[in-house]
Structure 1
Amino acid sequence: MSMIIVAALAVLALSFAPAPGAAADAVSARQPLRGNGTIVSAHGKFEAGLFSPAGSSGRFYLGIWYKNIPVQTVIWVANRARPLSDVASAQLRVSAADGNLELLGLTNPSSPSSAPAVLWSSNMSSTTSRPSSPGSNTAVIRDDGNLVLLDGGNASNVLWQSFDHPTDTQVPEAWLGENKLTGEYQTLTSWRNSQDPAPGVFTDTVDPNGTSEFFFLWNRSRVYWRSGVWTGRVFAAVPEATNNVLFNQTYVETPAYRRVTDVLYDNATITRMVLDLTGQTKQYIWVPASQSWQFFWAAPTVQCDVYALCGGFGVCDQRSQPPCQCPPGFAPASEGDWTLSDWSGGCRRSEPLTCSRNGSTTDEFLPLNNVKLPDDSAAVGAAQSEAECESACLKNCSCQAYTFSGGRCAVWHGEFRNLEQLHTDSGASSGSALYLRLSESGLRDLRSADTGKKVGRTLWLVLAIALAGVAALGVSLFLAWRILLARRRRRSMSSEKGSSLAVYSYGDLRAATKNFSERLGGGGFGSVYRGVLKQKRKGGSTTTTQVAVKKLEGLRQGDKQFRTEVSTLGHIQHVNLVRLLGFCSAGDEKMLVYEYMPNGSLDGYLFGGSGSCPSWRERYEIMLGVARGLVYLHDGCRERIIHCDIKPENILLDAGMSPKIADFGMAKLVGRDFSRALTTMRGTIGYLAPEWISGQPISAKADVYSFGMVLFELVSGRRNSQGYGRHDNGNNAGSEVEAAGSSAFFPVWAAGKVVEGEVGAVADPRLRGDVSEEELERACRVACWCIQDQEEHRPTMAQAVQALEGVLHVHAPPVPRQLQHLASLT
């Protein structure tokens, strides 16, 4: 009989323990999770269990990750600072004593006498209502990625949840902020490096002084970025984080908490926000088509704005990869950490300084030119000259560097941080010179290395002179061949029908733009500068032509491929497209020369705040002109061109106020980098079609969607992303808009008015009713059809032109599903 009872108990015990490696649905005192076992959310979206970061050499952590994404992407880690070293001994269970969720395991499996220890516990807050039967608590993973500990006697009572204790990632429906009842903060803290989830040096937290502003902190002490306060609809400094097509971001404050959270417009979207180990918060979207994470936006946008990114004595260079370098005479303090993108340890001297107690030293200084100076300098008021400033630094053994500018001497003691190498397009100095203190031997080594290089160059020069007589004829023939080749290239490009592109040298354009001194604007593809080209006529007279020179950035194309693509663009000529006049391809420098548009861009004319108010006739002509230009790009070229970035900034106005589309063909020139350049441009996100987010192939209908968004802005005279509410009493506010509520996304409100037949309420109040009602209704209906969620429901640009011209009758459109969902959340 006893044997039967024992066997029955064994079978019962097995029924509560999942098979090794199998997925359970919950964790409890009677059903612990052992070894490689996992628990999976109800609909299979998230999974929780043990994982080991790539390359971490046998360190294991309790974490949560996406179940169906092939690239394991961890969103939460429990035992960040206390990894397991043995999976077999690991056990996640509910404590029968106090009901906490706890992780047990060995930290030193090589010791046979060691017993499993509690490496992590949920440590339920003292304010949490205690369960009547702690041993009956259960832990489950939900489909939003939240690991929750539930009261065994009341499953609706959440005793503890991972959303209250985020690590480095925020997912939709999670929150960041403060629990006022417990005093706990929900903050993001970066990983230490790519293999170690231990807390790093960067933190994202809400203002401890009680405001709605969020801070990025270095070492939990130094603020290096601020979100701006919550305005009621957006955070002041990051409107692109809230005005996008992914989610609705809101900040809420109650007596119990103050926090920000995100709610997806479409639950099928997979996105996450990560406080990266580089100190930037980065938003990513999972693109099913490419099976990869697509970068969406970052804050701060410039990586070198992250405080002390490169650690002590490190130099941040935005143009280098990786961005952190060590100055001459220094080396990484930890080569291993630097290979894992952890630069926080900074640099160390290759040779120690020589300084005695009496202040005597043989140390010298090495100038680092054109740099942004480190923070936390100390002023030396007694130093009135650079020589006195240098002397003051040398006399103090702790002084590491000095600078003298504008009659002011500043020195740095101990490790300095936040040194940045600056660059300018013209090559002129825009920063300061920092004089870095080095030992005599260290400086001698640097000079010896430089001398060796100079000696090598001298030997090559002597050799070249010796061979000059023999090679003179060959060089002459080579130069003649190059000149002939260049002439043929110019002739071949200009001889092709419809193309008359000029080929400019870098020197030509540098002179024309006065060293690129007058910047007209810029974006993800580069900066644009005003220039004046001078050309001599046969009679000796000189003519001048104003141009706009775009310096392209980030291109990896070779010269031949670049010239081929530019030659294709040279054929494209239309009254509503900015004309390409020529180009320059000199090594890494790639530039395009366009005709100059004296009236600037549409965004400046429409939203510039200068008091100008385009008439309805001007607006309608702009609508038609842009539409016709897009029809030509889509249907009138030998090879269809999808613009991919239609917005007011890319619509320029000539002397007669005719619209001309700029930046067409950029997708061909930029190639693989186009999506990165596009999505990181401030203000562009509001014009992106849904297929950009879902990862579907991009067609000409993506331009149709963007055109619809531009139509709304032309009709209303305001940015779509601006709040329309009852507190907006400026010149652009109307009673109809005020009635929409405290804040509304304009396309949502406008689409509703169009469906209701009240299109007059949508027009810019500054027009004071001076509009063509028929044209207004056409424009509004076309805009609504253009921004439909599904591509097949949108018109072609040719149909949009016919509708605007009155050739086609436009039926009342439905409100797009995505906008309907957005409207329900505002």
Structure 2
Amino acid sequence: MLLTNRLLLLFFFRAFWMKTIVDEVQAQASKSITYSALNPNNPVEPAITVGSSVTTDDNSSWISSSGHFAFGFYGESDGFFVGIQLFVSPIETVVVWTARPDLKRFSKDAFLNFTDEGIFVTPEKEAVAIPLFKFSSKATSANMLDNGNFVVFGSDISNISGTSEVVLATGVTAAAKPGVAYGSSCSSSSRCSSTVGGTYKSIRSCSAYTRCRASTSSDSIIWRSFDFPSDTILGDQYLPCGSNLTSSAGEKDHSIGKYILNFPCGGASLIFYGLKSSRDVWDTGASGGDYNYLNLGDDGRLYLTSSGGNEKDISDYKPNKNTSDVMIYRATLDSDNIFRLYAHNLPDKSTKMVNEIPNIRDSCQNKGICGVNSYCMLVYGNAECKCVPGFEIMSRDSQVTDCRRIKTVPSCVNLTNSAAAVFHMEELNNIAGMENLAYGELSLASREECSNACLNDCNCYAASFIDQKCLKLKLPLTSGRKDDNHPSVTFMKLAGAQSDPAEPKTRREVCIVAIILSAAATISIWIVVIAAFIGAYWFLFRKFREEWRKWELALTEEIAPRYFSYEELRKGSNEFKQVLGKGGYGTVFRADLPIGDSTVAVAVKKLHGAEMEGEREFQAEMRLIGRAYHANIVRLLGFCHDGPSRLIIYELMLRGSFANHIFESRGRRPSWERRAAILLAAARGIHYLHCECETKIIHRDIKPENILIAEDWTAKIADFGLAKLLNKNQMRAATRTLAAGTEGYVAPECEREVAGSEEAQVSEKADVYSYGIVVLETICSKRNREVKELRKLSLCEMVRESYAANELWKLVDGDEVAAPELEKLVKIGLLCVQEDPNARPVMEDVVMMLEGDIDVPTPPSAPFSL
């Protein structure tokens, strides 16, 4: 019996000890990624189900079977991108694919969702989800494969010929090539394959490092990352002709860089472009053949293939076929515009660069490596960009070394003095590569003659003298590089006369003594003046100190709107290309304008229509919004009255209009607390116009489109083109005016009393009615006019019936909201839309009801006008 007890005790102790070890191993495995290969006899990738999500946490990723590839967030500098990483070793991680590098970095609160409709990122809690990619058919699962390809599967084989959608940097969608499911005959010794665009493509051999997904006959690939490369292609990946690779900004910055690699159809060339230029900066120059694909084989072979089966190697790399090492290859367009082939030895956990295109020793020979008005020079074998004399770097934060003048050079067309009295020429030796920029060429004997020829030519801003030839240049200068073997002299025309030759030493000494004595006398005088000023300020002007502070504040704050020229607005808005919205009287564009000491993103409203209508709209908005300055009124920053052009500049409301949010699908609407806060802010803005503004204003077009939302979810009233001023003695009285507004939001007294061009009695109660419609639309997430068309019943009547039947839950479309809060908003909305204007509350009472300072009365049961 004693022996049995001891054996039982030993058994339990051993079981407990083994469980402790297993738990510890699992805990350590959850904290880090396993870099060793798994069992090759189990080549099935772990499936990712619809509804799965990852966060920015280090341990939250969709990882391939071997642990060498992971799909999810990766951190860079001050935020996170979404992409695929290759784990070469515990200390070396390589980003091989980035989703939407055009987006700004996400915060640490972001999370990634895989749905049956697409892949979405929610930047922060309660924020609107951003689509990274959308699928054309319903997804059922996904896999992170061990060749670096993230694939999404659908259950319907009929979708094989369909297309998936990818959200591009421009915000539009493009078709992705469909794929065929992997064959179920894949094993550790076989190869997997797929057919894309009618061409058989071999996929990496199945092994411990490169596994294949065992799929059913009902699975089909509806999306895969290999079809949308960013700056890299991996082994067994190909780039179709007509496609591009875009470089990253830097080795540790995978936002969009400044170079593009293009593989055009109908040839065998790879062409390198600058992102902001249509001129190629490098061409491989290969010719012959009609090649359709740029392929990177799983053996590291980089080659072109044609539809007829022809192949052409384009790299000098010859892999060692005798080695047993498992390699992963990638070809990346690096940030210096070099297309490099890398070999990653997984067992050795090492990386080696094995080929470069173009293969050049001097990186400065890459014509696009530096920006305008700069030149390239080698420093310890590395390319560095320097500004030409008289220029400085335009932006230290930019990845492109563009340079601008330090001092403006005046036009010499109307000079009364000689050019030498206004300009001087500064020399820069041994600069090559600018010869093709010349607009004129002279045969001159000396460099002095070349310098004078450019100095006296109003069109010339630089000149290059080489071999008794003087090449005249205009700005901007590009493609320059420092070459000590290039016997040239470049002259830059700069503002200011040339300094005189060195003066005799004795005269310089006298000047130095005079300068020192003058400086000492000046400092002494300023000390006395400052002391006298301080004394006068404290003893003589003490009573004016408060007025002085107010005057000083008025000088420093930019309160009044400023004037902008049409040319400023045209350049700042990039030729009015980025449209934010359109209305009946104008179109709103985004622009970046210099305001104060910085460049500010603004909204520019460009008025259109007949000349008189545009002028009337312009005068109305300037006269009315210029009088309003409130936290819930959109701020007027400036205007343009340039010839026939009428433009108004407002602060930019990054989240758009309220309508963009309340009529979204249920999962994307703001929370009820946020919607209630927006309604309260809008009510405060309208109350300010009615009661607190210097001159009382009736807006006459309150609707969700005219309630704009700032980045911090602050709501502001906008669009005063239809607003009317009340005279000082009118206060809350009505004014006779032509009825205006938007269908569905116009008060009944306006629709009933106006026929044709007749005038109607309109008071601020018309705004109260429109605000009530906005409240009811916010509750129901439906437009008033759409309800009328579908049910032949106004939204007001529908809400009143639900309120009378105590069935308010039918209005909220499944949203979660507290019953008291819902009832309060419904009652406020019904009070505001009463047919009798005098029965409607004033906006001051509406604000107090929303804030909870006064009780909300029960609305009457009288019917509403349809």
TM range, smaller chain: 0.3 to 0.5
Which TM-score applies when normalising by structure 2? 0.40
What's the TM-score once normalised by structure 1's chain length? 0.41
Say which structure, 1 or 2, has more relative contact order (CA 8 Å, 6+ apart): 1
